[in-house]
Structure 1
Amino acid sequence: MKIEQIHHVAYRCKNAKDTVEWYGKMLNMNFILAIAEDHVPSTHDPDPYMHVFLDAGNRNVLAFFELPTLPEMGRDPNTPVWTQHLAFKVKDREELLKFRDHLEANGVEVLGVTDHSIFHSIYFFDPSGHRLELACPDPEEDAMLAKLDTVKWDMLNEWDRTKKAPRHAAWMHEKELSEV
């Protein structure tokens, strides 16, 4: 048995129409389809919803639910805001910078470019408060990924034993920290 790919990823949104329009304008995602029901098919709960689907590229689908009868959406207060996010890949640094400029020109606050060694990222929030990341590969990505591959199990096992950050891949952000 093997998973082929992600079919879709679904999140809650505050307003389905605003969400579709924002992702279209800010990230150039096409609106694929909408489904609306008065009952949830899997649970049969009487709960009206609007379910919208967006093309995130390369057969990846991003979906949202607007749930107007439920209390206003929030976030888990025990999880830092930077933890839960959705990252999209862009072709290269030039494309990443174009997106950053486009987002900022449209009033979106953008953090970064952050150099993660294997890739470079910008971070921002959608209108529902979901943290998003756009990432582009570093030119040396393949060599760095190979280096990380050799230590992944050692790192995971050490973390599992100690719950302290192993130093096997500290090189990834040492340059960034030395510039601070």
Structure 2
Amino acid sequence: MATDSVPWRGVHHLALVTADMDATVRFWHGVLDARLVTTLAIPAFRHYFFEVAPGNTIAFFEFTDQPIESFAKPAGVPYPKASQFDHLSLHLPDEDALNRMRDRLKAHGCEVTDVIDHGFLRSIYFSDPNGIALEASWWTIDPTGRPVDYGDERLFADADPVPAVRELRDHGRLERTVATRLVDGIIEDLGREGITVERSTG
């Protein structure tokens, strides 16, 4: 197993889908003040990027002549059509910024919850024009950028954690990792571009 640390610098971009890029720009750039920083387009789609922090963006695809079945769901509520995605939370620095974002959303006519206290973070919840469940949060106890204490019950409150967490708590490392596979469609797309991908047989 590799032991070198990975120099993560945040989320480069999270790619979501919209059926109305114009409305998406008006909400993300206009309401949320997430600057539109770059766009690209080919006949098959548009792809627009909105800055949420230096180097960190939320990106949207708008596919050409491809109807998509949209839905809206609240955060934290299971829904079969969203089995791999629940909601996106954007980071704010403190309670004042959270309250100002809540006021900003209301001023633009957007529905938004009261501030919810989750203990180690506080949040508000709202949706974008595509029905994507959004959250804005700030850490009341920031667990990032410092050594992790897996015994800190303020942050690790699951009384019966999964085995991987017990391994980290008890030994400071994972006993094993998991392997993944590329989706066949990616292999096919790369093949059309003349790129060969070596697939694992293990």
Q: TM-score, normalised by structure 1?
A: 0.70
Letter of the aligned partner of 1:37 in structure 2? I
Query: How far apart are 1:17 and its partner, in Å?
Result: 2.2
Query: How far apart are 1:58 and its partner, in Å?
Result: 2.9
The equivalent position to 2:39 in structure 1, one of 4, 20, 34, is: 34
Query: How far apart are 1:21 and its partner, in Å?
Result: 2.0
Structure 1 match to 2:163: 157
8 Å Cα contact 2:70-2:130 kept in structure 1: no
Letter of the aligned partner of 2:58 in structure 1? L
CA gap of 1:59–1:153, structure 2 versus 1, over 3 A, is farther
Question: In structure 2, what is the Cα distance between the partners aligned to 1:79 and 1:12?
Answer: 14
How large is the Cα RMSD of the aligned pairs?
3.0
Query: How far apart are 1:132 and its partner, in Å?
Result: 0.6
Query: How far apart are 1:95 and its partner, in Å?
Result: 0.7
Structure 1 match to 2:134: 132
Question: In structure 1, what is the Cα distance between the partners aligned to 2:163 and 2:157?
Answer: 10
Segments of 5+ residues of structure 1 without an aligned counterpart are: 39-47, 160-180
Query: How far apart are 1:141 and its partner, in Å?
Result: 4.5
Query: How far apart are 1:72 and its partner, in Å?
Result: 2.7
Report which of the two has the higher share of strand: 1
Letter of the aligned partner of 2:42 in structure 1? E
Query: How far apart are 1:154 and its partner, in Å?
Result: 5.0
Question: In structure 2, what is the Cα distance between the partners aligned to 1:115 and 1:128?
Answer: 26
Question: In structure 2, what is the Cα distance between the partners aligned to 1:150 and 1:125?
Answer: 28
8 Å Cα contact 1:11-1:64 kept in structure 2: yes
Q: TM-score, normalised by structure 2?
A: 0.63
CA gap of 1:113–1:67, structure 2 versus 1, over 3 A, is same
Structure 2 match to 1:64: 60
Letter of the aligned partner of 1:53 in structure 2? F
The equivalent position to 1:118 in structure 2, one of 110, 117, 120, is: 120
Identity %: 27
3-state SS of 1:99 partner:
helix
CA gap of 1:4–1:105, structure 2 versus 1, over 3 A, is same
Correspondences of 1:5-84 after superposition (within 5 Å): 5=9, 6-38=11-43, 48-75=44-71, 77-78=79-80, 84=86
3-state SS of 2:53 partner:
coil
CA gap of 1:80–1:37, structure 2 versus 1, over 3 A, is closer
Structure 2 match to 1:4: 8
Structure 1 match to 2:182: none
Query: How far apart are 1:77 and its partner, in Å?
Result: 4.5
